[in-house]
Structure formats: structure tokens, C-alpha cells
Amino acid sequence: SQSRYGKAVKTVLDDYSISQTQLVTVLGIGRSHRYGWVNQTRDSYAETAIVIIQWLEEINVDTATEFRRLYLD
């Protein structure tokens, strides 16, 4: 759901000290999309969640695991 995705993104960014700028750079998205996700006013496509998980796995496997748990549970 929309709020689940936003909460998962926000929690992982905050808990693992990942900047929103790093996330949008990897995803190639604009500031308004990033703001919408983090503030839970916009949902993402499943493909974007997969890209986020793959990127997080490169940074820290625990981070990717936490995102999966928050988003899918």
C-alpha cells in the first residue's frame, strides 16, 4: 500500500543514514517523487521496490532485509 511503501523508505533511510539524494540518484527520479514517497503521499511501482532492494543490498544486506520486511510484511 501507499503508506507502507513510504514508511519503509523513510524508516530505512533514517535508520541507516542514507540520504534521499542518494536514493533519487540511483533511481533517476525527481524531487517531487522522492518527497511523495517519504511523506507517504505517492506510491511506487513494484519494479522500483526491486531496484531499491538491489541497491540496498550493495550498501548493506541488513538494510535491504529491513526494507523488504517493512514493505512486504
| Per-residue pLDDT reduced to its tens digit, 35-66 | 555 665 555 556 788 888 999 999 899 999 99
What is the C-alpha separation between 40 and 65, in angstroms, rounded? Answer: 20
Express as a percent the part of the chain with pLDDT over 90. Answer: 36
pTM, two decimals, is 0.68
What is the C-alpha separation between 63 and 7, in angstroms, rounded? Answer: 14
| Contacts for 30 with CB less than 8 Å, ≥ 6 apart | 24
State residue 6's pLDDT score: 80
State residue 45's pLDDT score: 58
Which letter does DSSP use for residue 29 in this model? Answer: -
